[in-house]
Amino acid sequence: MTSSLSKSDKKKVLDFAAWSFNISTSVGIIMVNKALMATYGFSFATTLTGLHFVTTTLMTIVFRWLGLSQPSHLPVADLIKFVVFSNLSIVGMNVSLMWNSVGFYQIAKLCMIPASCLLEVVFDHVHYSRDTKLSIMVVLIGVAVCTVTDVSVNAKGLAAAVIAVWSTALQQYYVHFLQRKYSLNSFNLLGHTAPAQAGSLLLVGPFVDYLLTGKRVDHFGFTSLATFFLTLSCIIAIGVNLSQFICIGRFSAVSFQVLGHMKTVLVLSLGFLFFGKEGLNFQVVLGMILAVVGMIWYGNASAKPGGKERRSVLPVRSEKPKEALDEKDGSEK
């Protein structure tokens, strides 16, 4: 009994550490990128993401050299699918932000939660309890209240938002799927995906950024401070990429999206703290409170028996006797 309790306590500590790691690095990189882009004019978001994956690739190489990451296998077909989803997500979000109002862009981001829920229900046969569904609704309403202001829609902006939402949901679902299917940890999966994403984004990034901004990255005038913030952004990105894979691997894409909105609340709070209280009103405060209450409720509801249940394991490719399937089911729980 004592051993069971200590194991449970250890899991809670590790879960909290994973979330804290993701939230702190994500909020940190948002603040650094805001300074890099708004203050120093480096507006090449897609190219910047490619540079983020370059430093992440270097991290995976160092970890493999130190023996902290073991050799693993990921089929090329699955790697290509993952990279396509990830890159469409990155480009789609950037294009959506440019072609849509900020309000509609925020609504599109909120749609990622129902999209992720649908993927888990369809592919993993996950069942959500009534309380879990209601808690997700409270989070969505809370974040919408404090972030959505002006909402205007146009055809090309809507198309970009749809691509961004579904590619992001598929990318995050695929992180969890690949880790379970091929028994990959976060370091292994990043070791396979980061180099492919770095190469592909650095190849297409400058062209995408030119289409979005009308500026060429090779014409950017680097100053010492701009270079410092660019380097800092790339270093923090290692933690962002790693912590995302750790969190989705430990939980699920839906939990990552729901509890991840704590970052939205923190970014808003820090923005008001460091950049002035303009825009801070009763509606924003109410939205923040609703979002936090919803997150706490979701954490409790989904942890209860029946709150969120996976009713099947990954599909078995070949026919096996019932006894073999039963043994496999028991080993994957």
Per-residue pLDDT tens listing for the chain (333 residues): 444 557 777 887 888 898 889 889 988 898 898 889 888 999 899 999 999 999 999 999 998 888 877 889 999 999 999 999 999 999 888 888 778 777 777 788 888 889 999 998 998 888 889 999 999 999 889 888 877 766 677 788 889 889 999 999 999 999 989 999 999 988 899 999 999 999 999 999 999 999 888 999 999 999 999 999 999 999 999 999 999 888 888 877 788 888 777 777 777 777 667 656 655 677 778 888 888 888 888 888 887 888 777 765 544 444 444 444 344 444 443
> What does the pLDDT read at residue 50?
96
**CA pseudo-torsion sign 239, 94, 298, 185:** negative
Return the SS3 of 101: coil
The Cβ of residue 145 has, within 10 Å, a number of other Cβ atoms equal to 17
- Residue pair 180/174 in contact by the 8 Å Cβ criterion: no
Half-sphere exposure of residue 230: CA atoms within 13 angstroms, side-chain side: 20
End-to-end CA distance of the chain: 20
283: tokens are 């509606």
> What does the pLDDT read at residue 326?
44
> What does the pLDDT read at residue 5?
54
> What does the pLDDT read at residue 278?
59
DSSP string, 153-184: --HHHHHHHHHHHHHHHHHHHHHHHHHHHTT-
Amino acid at 25: T
Reference 133, options 119, 120, 114; nearest CA is 114
Distance CA 44, CA 111 (A): 26
As a three-state string, the secondary structure of 120-142 is HHHHHCEEECHHHHHHHHHHHHH
125: tokens are 């046969």
> What does the pLDDT read at residue 57?
96
Distance CA 54, CA 46 (A): 13
330: tokens are 């028991």
Distance CA 211, CA 213 (A): 6
- Residue pair 150/102 in contact by the 8 Å Cβ criterion: yes
Helix (H) or strand (E) holding 310: strand 308-310
Q: How far is CA 16 from the centre of its chain?
A: 17
> What does the pLDDT read at residue 322?
44
Phi, psi at 151, each rounded to 5°: -130, 110
Half-sphere exposure of residue 179: CA atoms within 13 angstroms, side-chain side: 23
pTM greater than 0.95: no
β-pairing, 308-310 vs 126-128, is: antiparallel
332: tokens are 């994957």
**Residue 309: strand pairing partners:** 127
